[in-house]
Structure 1
């Protein structure tokens, strides 16, 4: 018997918004419910992707904005083909940290490129694949910077960008959510971890029912 198609859930938001914490809680809840969960991320969700991740996040020196966007798209094409689609075809739940919305926000708004072109490039790379649900953890960039500072770890290339960059990223995320309310769930990342997790579980339960 061929398994039914799985579900694809992505987490989006600025750096420091709590995506990893919520992904861990959601994965544990789904696993406890008997679901098979594939945790992955972009960039870096495959062996090829990890090489690209090292370039785009940790390369010392400038990367031209269009080159950066193309590197993310290359990672996305390989990741969807080799990780996401096979898992969905097996009937599993793909729980993914970042997808094309990150590229529209960071490489589009952040780098001041055309967001529509970035989205079209990503959709071409991924053969039109879109998640069933996108969880957007929304947080003021100043609050996010305080969280990152308290973590006491080196910033990657994007985390190190100025406040204006992160403000544009946040605005782009909220515009994306407004444009696709049926796909996005916007969460106040300044709320308690427990309240955010409960809101996520309610929406995911509805998705899977």
Structure 2
């Protein structure tokens, strides 16, 4: 089987015939039209995909490049694409340095998030806390979890059902902006709220 490193949305099918297995990979754009990159590695080579609707067939360990179009993908795989779950809606709120205090702009987003959750059937929210790299990693892990919990409490105060919200702290591990240790970066002091 081929090895695939995912850079964005991918349609990956394994087609079994009588004697051979074929992997068929197509790189799809995200909702905003952007694509990442995808490396497909097989026994006899590697092909990098970086254009929307570019693809690879892997037969007998040999990758070959193919091209398609939105229409071709829709015609061939429309039913499969329609079965995908809805993509999560992501909101980002920011905090004052070293605290769980929301910035004024972030407080104004809470009613929007609450209203969005109310429109979703069987809604759930995942609240993921993050920090910059001012403190050490152990302190940042605790702070990120406190921020996620503070985000959860803000959602509950805004009228979201508590049992539909889960929290995770990621510390400084997933920055928006990469910095050296000790650098205060406001864009990294955030909570991501994923609604689905």
Q: TM-score, normalised by structure 2?
A: 0.30
Higher strand residue share: 2
Greater Rg, structure 1 or structure 2? 2
Q: TM-score, normalised by structure 1?
A: 0.29
Q: Tell which has more relative contact order, 1 or 2 (C-alpha 8 A, sep 6+).
A: 1
Higher helix residue share: 1
